[in-house]
Amino acid sequence: MGTAALLLFLSSGQAEQRAIAYLAREVPRWWKNNQCFSCHNNGDAARALYTALRLSYELPAEALSDTTRWLSRPAGWDENRGDPQVSDKKLARIQFAAALVEAFEYGVVKDLKVLRESAESLLPYQDPDGSWKVDAGAAVGSPVTYGVGIATWLARQALEKANDGRFREPVERAAEWFRKVQISSVPDAAAAALALQALSDTRSRAKFRECLNLIRRGQASDGGWGPYIHAPPEPFDTALALLALAGERTLPEFRSAVEKGRSYLLRTQLSEGGWRETTRPPGGQSYAQHISTSGWAALALLETR
């Protein structure tokens, strides 16, 4: 390993540790201060921490104890004490279900019935076309609002991980939606690629390659990605692109893209360990968007380490 590569490797490891330490402090803070569970702290950010545990990083027990207890009771998710004027129960269920999948993958939640209960609660929200319509009026999703593509990918994943024959048809309807949908943004391309990457049928593979090509064309000269091709890079869009490329990073044509994308996240990481929030339009201020952005960025670094 050359000197430059060694320095990048060492700085990457430090960045991941700082991100994990930051999120380990922030995730439990929301419940302690507000006595409710949030989609950003106990959903997106917690998902990154469960992934860190699965990859053998160490965390203080209190970082996820309250979140694990909350995620283990899907029947009570609608009874959260959050502000009803800004709460979207459909979106919240998808975000908590995604975190629960990672908690189950790590093994801190062991009962498959909990995973199936969570997945079953998503079924009433699936549209006839196979998608989960979240923030459907927005041109492109954000770390907190997701958008239809990201919501459908994560909801489909939750149903698939539940490993129950009852979910076979809704899982396939979601896949068919991805095969047909027109893709124009980087987040939607990443979501479709992640949803279809394990499928081997001809149409799925064609759509998967189409999405990867869009992602490849969308990478900026500084290594990051914005919501669209030629748009200024943002941490959230870069994280999604990296997650989509994670399984392809051994291929020469994608290895460099992953390395440059990781470098962008390393350069844009804040001193405290998180990342500047990605907002739509850009430049806004939001704690929720900040924590969710930081969770997605940390997750991307972990999955491409």
Report pLDDT for 11.
62
Domains and CATH numbers, the chain: 10-303 (1.50.10.20)
Average pLDDT over residues 216-244: 98
pLDDT > 70 fraction of the chain, expressed in percent and rounded: 94
Given pLDDT bands bounded at 50, 70 and 90, which one contains residue 3? very low
Q: What pLDDT, on a 0 to 100 scale, did the predictor assign at position 6?
A: 39
Q: Judge whether residue 9 has pLDDT over 90.
A: no
Rounded Cα–Cα distance for residues 107 and 207 (Å): 33
pLDDT in tens, 135-151: 999 999 999 999 999 99
Q: What is the pLDDT of residue 83?
A: 59
7: pLDDT strictly greater than 70: no
Exposed / middle / buried, residue 107 (Cβ in 10 Å: 0-12, 13-18, 19+): exposed
pLDDT at residue 8 above 60? no
> Residue 148's pLDDT is what?
98
pLDDT tens-digit profile of 59-98? Answer: 999 999 999 999 999 999 998 876 555 568 999 999 999 9
Whether residue 10 is predicted with pLDDT greater than 70 in this model: the reply is: no
**Confidence at residue 244, expressed as pLDDT on a 0 to 100 scale:** 98
Render pLDDT for 24-41 as a digit per residue (tens, 0 to 9): 999 999 999 999 999 999
